Amino acid sequence: MSRKNRNVSSESLDISTAQLAFIRRHVLRTRRIRIYQIVILIGFISLWEVTAHYGILNSFVFSSPSRVMKTIISMGASGQLFYHTGITLLETLVSFFLVNFLGIAVAVILWWNYSLSKVLEPYLIVLNSLPKSALAPVFIVWLGNNVKTIIVAAVSVAVFGTIINLYNDFKSVEEDRIKLIHTLGGNKRDVLFRVIIPSNIPSIISQMKVNIGLSLVGVVIGEFLAAKAGLGYLIIYGSQVFTCVYILVLFRLPLSIYLCLNRLIEI
């Protein structure tokens, strides 16, 4: 018995040692990837700064990292940066919540009513394929030059794809699990809340990650055409007065917003 116990303990020790070795390799690999990413970023910024400083790149057209940083500090000190970023962030969050609410609600309705889903499916596909940037001027005519137009433009970018994707995910749930609920005396509502929704939580979260980026893109597109404030408005203003450093700063801010919001969703 003691020999068997020793064998079992040695095997478990070997397994734990192998697991620790795997974890160490994974950590080292992750660190190497991070180091490579940082080195590439630093190299790109350094090359950009040097070529702009010595006139290899036209500093008026391409600007430089130092000028970009000075512009960020100047805009931050004046409060302009935080004001316009806050407006874009608020519009993005409103659009994001509307897209997810409408997407999940309509997908559930289509799953619940098979006939309705067959009637509306081709229309959803057509609406999803429309160029949303081309619809923004139409929204201005319908809704006016205001925040509603921006939010509707942002919602239109993401909502139809969300409905289609979630509806297809709802349909793809294993039939045996649905039959089990019916066998136990459950109704369609039980199937929805005990099988369909729980099974598709990962799909819903993945779709939310996509929607936060699409909502931000839609808001910026709307601000290009129908805003008096926001990052999209500032980008258009910078292009009109030929201030390229302004544009470079403002193109980085939506990326920063997306990365922060995406990180919050992952948490």
Residue 232 and residue 244: Cα distance in Å, rounded? 14
- So what's the pLDDT on residue 110? 92
Host H or E run for residue 246:
helix 244-266
Each residue of 184-239: pLDDT tens digit?
A: 777 888 888 888 888 888 889 889 888 988 888 888 888 888 778 888 888 887 77
The pTM for the full model equals 0.77
Q: CA-to-CA distance for 47 and 52, rounded, in angstroms? A: 8
Burial of 123 (0-12, 13-18, 19+ CB in 10 A): exposed
- The residues spanned by each domain of the chain are 2-57, 68-266
In tens, the pLDDT along 83-94 reads 888 888 899 999
Nearest to 90 by CA among 265, 223, 236: 223
Helix axes 231-240, 80-112, angle to 10 degrees: 130
**Residues 68-266, CATH architecture:** Orthogonal Bundle (1.10)
Asked if residue 223 lies in contact with residue 231, where contact means CB atoms within 8 angstroms, the answer is: yes
For residues 72 and 256, the answer to whether their CB atoms sit within 8 Å is no
Angle at 163 between CA 159 and CA 166, to 5 degrees: 130
Token pair, residue 51, equals: 């070529």
